[in-house]
Structure 1
Amino acid sequence: MRKVTVGILVFEGCQESGLTAPLDVFRIVEALSTAGSASEPVALEARFVSIGGGMRRTAGDLRVETVPAESATLDAVIVPGVHHRDVADLLRALTPLDAEAAWLAKVASSGAPVLASCSGVFMLGAAGVLDGRRATTSWWLGPALHDRFPNVRLEADGRIVADGVCVSAAGVTSYHDLALWLVQRFAGEDLRRACAKFLLLDLDRQTQTPFVIEQLMEAPREDLIARARDWLNARLTQTVRIEDLARHCGVSQRTLLRRFRDTADRTPARYLQTLRLARAKALLEDTALPAAEVAVQCGYADVATFRKTFKLRVRLTPYQYRERFRRRLPDETVVGAAAS
């Protein structure tokens, strides 16, 4: 049986899911592999490593015995998430992890894949291995990753993005996606698909866009953007002129456009569309209004434009979004929705 050794980097305050979720996948892989789902039996063995080795405590005070990362021979490394309360807390938590970041840089330079999801992607950013590469993270952390590591080519809607030896994934539950990526890399696509079916994981989900809650996105650290947001939210059904928005914010149109580009990474028109789609999502989740009425209440001139824009930005039709996310009573039978 061919053995692949995957290091799982353990550090003080890391999230437990990044340590344990891959283990479940690896055990299933070995069972399926020996049962004939792979042309060659393969075992993915996890090894907990840390800088210097020894005991480490996770965010939930789980004590994990590790071996020294510096002397371990590894085929790949998974980086767990960094526990944090908000973005500022996350950035502060990176400061004591310089040694871990330096080690990750060495691993990547050796050609071994380094994988992380959600807040763990910031560790790869701190290691410098994402500079010039494509990467993703959880949708609400995207703006912060772009701000902290501007040389990263952020694919904000990506569920899992591989660029060279660097593999990044979206939310904290994406450790299964990372583990399955390793299965494909070292054991082939057939075993990856068999394992995904066994775990009831959908391999066709390529985007995290439908899950975005715009109201929970990390707000731009800019008073002007906050003033513009409040003014625009009160006028979603109206025709908005850039000169009126600039006048409300007390700046010239040129300054307004520059501040939006530098801080919100989009134009005011694009920002307005984001706010309108956020209201559309809320109406689709909480009401039975038909798509035409949702379009009107969100400021779209006609339902065809609304459907086209919604599908382009959310990657689902209004009908599909309502079917997936609308609120239901615990005993309610799933039935067709009004929007289409």
Structure 2
Amino acid sequence: MRKNWAMSEQHLVAVVALDGVVPFDLGTPTQIFGTARDETGHRKYKTLVCTPGGRPVTTAAGYRVTPDHGLDLTERAGTVVVSGIHAGDPVERGTVDPVIADALRAAHARGARIMSICTGAFVLAAAGLLDERPATTHWWWAEKFREFFPQVKLDADVLFVDDGDVLTSAGVGAGIDLCLHVVRTDFGSEVANRAARRSVVPPWRDGGQAQYIERPLPRPSDATLAATRAWAAERLDAPLSLQDMAAHATMSVRTFTRRFREETGVSPARWLLQQRVDHARALLESTDLPVEVVARRCGLGTAAGLRQHLQSTIGVAPSAYRRTFRVVPERAGG
């Protein structure tokens, strides 16, 4: 059963920085959790940075960070986040200082939520917190991660993995996605969307989305399928076939499928299903429409079809999703 980590008045987040820390990864949780506020402006999290012994640590950018706290902060934090590193034993040898490992294991044992951004997953794995569990890290480091930690069920194709009490993300921007996901899980869409607006980032990217698409940028003169995608997105409630989309793009099905995958990294069918699920989630969050009506408006057919796709995509039923993420309109002047 998933624990409710948002029960405290102000949830304490301890961000662990080690030598070789990536500044972007260190700043992500302080930025996202720091801007998570309710409609009155009350901060939902208190985010502090700590290091072993409270000592300064080097960064991957050539300067040092001097924290105000040591690892004893992890003894009382509700969430512990390990930032990514580009140097040191975890990524070079697959090992971690026993002091750090003990602190992370003790925090996990007492019920704290443990998270990592980018190569912070190496630290969690070296501490034994990812054994036989699903996890992810930056795709660039995946081969080395598998070499060091074959016991971890690594999926290097996704943005983040939420395994309940232990969560991992891919690199750089994916840390933002994971932190917003956590805010949304703890306090709902309204708070998460507000934090995203303050940070000027998209409020949601699904954790199962591909980390990257390796392709050259199209030449300005090249035609793209953006118009067809926009056309399809406006007709989610209608039966749309691959042939329909290819005809709109005035291409053969084979050429259309190839070009679509080159531009998006997924097949047309998978893209269309994700658009429908995303639209269903938006309607569940922002309206009181019956689940059957939501399913029809999104082109998912029946309530059973919506339930199946939502369950397989994010692991919850429509009714549970609505209870958790229902957006309540802000009061005037809020």
- TM-score bin, normalised by smaller chain: 0.5 to 0.7
* Deviations, residues 59-118 of structure 1 (Å, cap 9, x unaligned): 33223123232364101011111124xxx9863265453421232122222221111121
Does the C-alpha gap of structure 1 residues 89 and 97 become closer, same or farther in structure 2, counting only changes over 3 Å?
closer
Question: Is 1:173 matched up with 2:124?
Answer: no
Query: Alpha-carbon deviation of 1:163?
Result: 0.3
- AA in 1 matched with 2:26: L
Q: How does 1:1-340 map to 2 (within 5 A)?
A: 2-30=9-37, 32-35=38-41, 41-59=42-60, 60-70=62-72, 72-84=75-87, 91-92=91-92, 95=95, 97-206=97-206, 207=208, 209=210, 211-213=212-214, 281-282=215-216, 288=222, 304-305=253-254, 308=257, 311=261, 314-315=265-266
- AA in 2 matched with 1:314: G
Preserved contact between residue 4 and residue 44 of structure 1 (Cα < 8 Å) = yes
Q: CA separation in 1, counterparts of 2:217 and 2:57?
A: 46
Q: CA separation in 2, counterparts of 1:307 and 1:126?
A: 45
Q: CA separation in 2, counterparts of 1:123 and 1:96?
A: 6
Query: Alpha-carbon deviation of 1:52?
Result: 2.7
Q: CA separation in 2, counterparts of 1:25 and 1:53?
A: 23
1:52 aligned counterpart, secondary structure: helix
* Deviations, residues 29-76 of structure 1 (Å, cap 9, x unaligned): 23x5424xxxxx443111222233343343332231232323641010
Does the C-alpha gap of structure 1 residues 57 and 93 become closer, same or farther in structure 2, counting only changes over 3 Å?
farther
Preserved contact between residue 83 and residue 90 of structure 1 (Cα < 8 Å) = no
Q: CA separation in 1, counterparts of 2:197 and 2:211?
A: 22
1:11 aligned counterpart, secondary structure: coil
Does the C-alpha gap of structure 1 residues 285 and 101 become closer, same or farther in structure 2, counting only changes over 3 Å?
farther
Does the C-alpha gap of structure 1 residues 205 and 152 become closer, same or farther in structure 2, counting only changes over 3 Å?
same
Preserved contact between residue 136 and residue 154 of structure 2 (Cα < 8 Å) = yes
- AA in 2 matched with 1:12: D
- AA in 1 matched with 2:83: P
Q: CA separation in 2, counterparts of 1:289 and 1:28?
A: 39
Does the C-alpha gap of structure 1 residues 196 and 126 become closer, same or farther in structure 2, counting only changes over 3 Å?
same
Q: CA separation in 1, counterparts of 2:154 and 2:119?
A: 14
Name the structure 2 match of 1:276: none
Name the structure 2 match of 1:233: none
- TM-score (norm. length: structure 2): 0.59
- AA in 1 matched with 2:151: N
Does the C-alpha gap of structure 1 residues 48 and 162 become closer, same or farther in structure 2, counting only changes over 3 Å?
same
**Equivalent residues, number:** 232
1:180 aligned counterpart, secondary structure: helix
* Deviations, residues 304-337 of structure 1 (Å, cap 9, x unaligned): 45654774992265xx9xxxxxxxxxxxxxxxxx
Unaligned runs of 5+ in 1: 36-40, 214-280, 292-301, 321-340
Q: CA separation in 2, counterparts of 1:304 and 1:210?
A: 26
Preserved contact between residue 118 and residue 175 of structure 2 (Cα < 8 Å) = no
Highest CA radius of gyration, 1 or 2?
A: 1
* Deviations, residues 136-178 of structure 1 (Å, cap 9, x unaligned): 1122222322232112222222111100211111112333223
Q: CA separation in 1, counterparts of 2:83 and 2:202?
A: 22
1:118 aligned counterpart, secondary structure: coil
Does the C-alpha gap of structure 1 residues 147 and 282 become closer, same or farther in structure 2, counting only changes over 3 Å?
same
Q: CA separation in 2, counterparts of 1:169 and 1:15?
A: 14
Preserved contact between residue 35 and residue 43 of structure 2 (Cα < 8 Å) = no
Preserved contact between residue 2 and residue 42 of structure 1 (Cα < 8 Å) = no
- AA in 2 matched with 1:80: S
- Comparing 119-128 with 149-158, greater Cα deviation is found at 149-158
Query: Alpha-carbon deviation of 1:121?
Result: 1.1
- AA in 1 matched with 2:79: A
Q: CA separation in 2, counterparts of 1:194 and 1:81?
A: 26
- TM-score (norm. length: structure 1): 0.58
1:111 aligned counterpart, secondary structure: coil
2:15 aligned counterpart, secondary structure: strand
2:137 aligned counterpart, secondary structure: coil
Preserved contact between residue 53 and residue 69 of structure 1 (Cα < 8 Å) = yes
Does the C-alpha gap of structure 1 residues 210 and 18 become closer, same or farther in structure 2, counting only changes over 3 Å?
closer
